[in-house]
Structure 1
Amino acid sequence: MKNTIAIVDDHILIAQALKGIISKFENFEVIFECENGKELIHKIKALKTVPNIVMLDISMPEMNGFETALWLKESYPEIKIMVLSMQNDEQSVIKMIRNGAKSYLLKNTHPRDLEMALNKLVQDGFFYPDWASKIIYSNMNGTTSSSISKLTEREKEFLKYTITEMSYKEIAELMCCSPRTVESYRDNLFEKLELKTRVGLAVYALKNGFS
């Protein structure tokens, strides 16, 4: 079964071109396109169809990408958000990630790289190209590999699971402990590594070989 995609972009020609490109991908299909966040909300509710992935532009009328991502994060956290935008500034990247985006690509991305990114998004739960990763790293408050020495073995074990799509409850079951204990690992890592989100923990884990 193919992974379903909704394209949200107010440029109709771009949306149609994207649909045509994705139609050639083996594992993906576009189920509908929308011109802004409000239309996306309407279609999800009217069609009672929740896509696996929302491919989201930022600059749109009525309800922009920032607002749409936040709504998706709060209403349908299981949907994977992939930003596809011309905006590559640090503020936009960080804000979209904080609002729930799991991938961030530019509109000049080659089709083969888009397909690879979509596959990585499905497999790993997120994907950021090198240029976006550098922005994320620079916002990790100086966190470096030397901080590994501060971590306990259980915290290191927990870090490996932050890269997966497992919920904290599922991680707790795998680690044979309570969800509250897992939350304490998370909070300790936030403090020790000066991070604030699971995405930050996952990026740190990948950067330091915990995958």
Structure 2
Amino acid sequence: MKKTIVIVDDHVLIAKALEGIIDNFKEFEVIYVAENGKDLIQKFENNSKIPDIILLDISMPIMDGFETVLWLKENHPDIKVMALSMQGDDKSVIKMIKNGAKGYLLKNTHPKDLETALTKLNSDGFFYPEWASKIIFSNLNNDKESENAIRISDREKEFLKFTVTELSYKEIADKMCCSPRTVESYRDQLCEKLDLKTRVGLAVFAIKNGFAN
């Protein structure tokens, strides 16, 4: 079964062209288009199908991409949001990621690269091209605890402290008075935010940024 996509973009021609491109992908299909965040919310309230993925423009009237992705994170956290914009500046990238975007692409992306990005987003839960990853890590390096770039919660900080120990995830869960599944959620969220793959990577990050003390 194909993964469903909704495009949110106020430029009708661009949205329709994008819809035609995606509908040629084997794994994905566009189920409808919304003109802005408010239009998307209205469609949800009118019982339109909830998609697996949303391709979200940033600059839109009435309700822009920054507001929309934040609303989606709070109301539909299971939807994977990919920002698709002409804006590739540091501020826009970091703000979209902080607000809940799981990926970021520019509108001049080649269709094949878009398909790859959607596939990675679907399988891994996130996708950031190399240029966006450099922006993220640059901001991390400019702020010791990455508070100004990517928000790390107090519970995630507590989990980072345990990553440098020999405790199993079950034992960490006992220390944190929560379930192993919750601990795994902290791990997955941090790996996603920091573009890391393993506990070793998390431990190195914890040591370098003072979370292991």
TM-score range, shorter chain: 0.7 to 0.9
1:133 maps to: 133
1:203 aligns with 2:200: no
User: How does 1:149-168 map onto structure 2 within 5 Å?
Assistant: 151-154=164-167
Distance 1:63 1:205, change over 3 A: same
Which runs of 5 or more residues in structure 2 are unaligned?
145-159, 203-213
Q: Do the aligned partners of 1:57 and 1:83 also contact (CA within 8 Å) in 2?
A: yes
- Mapped partners of 1:74, 1:185: distance in 2: 20
Amino acid at match of 2:55: M
1:107 maps to: 107
- Mapped partners of 2:6, 2:185: distance in 1: 32
Residue-pair matches, total:
181
2:2 maps to: 2
Which runs of 5 or more residues in structure 1 are unaligned?
159-171, 190-196
User: How does 1:86-125 map onto structure 2 within 5 Å?
Assistant: 86-125=86-125
Distance 1:177 1:53, change over 3 A: same
User: How does 1:177-192 map onto structure 2 within 5 Å?
Assistant: 177-178=173-174, 180=177
SS at match of 2:14: helix
Normalising by structure 2, what TM-score?
A: 0.74
RMSD: 3.1
Q: Do the aligned partners of 1:140 and 1:200 also contact (CA within 8 Å) in 2?
A: no
Normalising by structure 1, what TM-score?
A: 0.75
- Mapped partners of 1:131, 1:28: distance in 2: 25
CA displacement at 1:152 relative to structure 2: 2.1
Q: Do the aligned partners of 2:85 and 2:105 also contact (CA within 8 Å) in 1?
A: yes
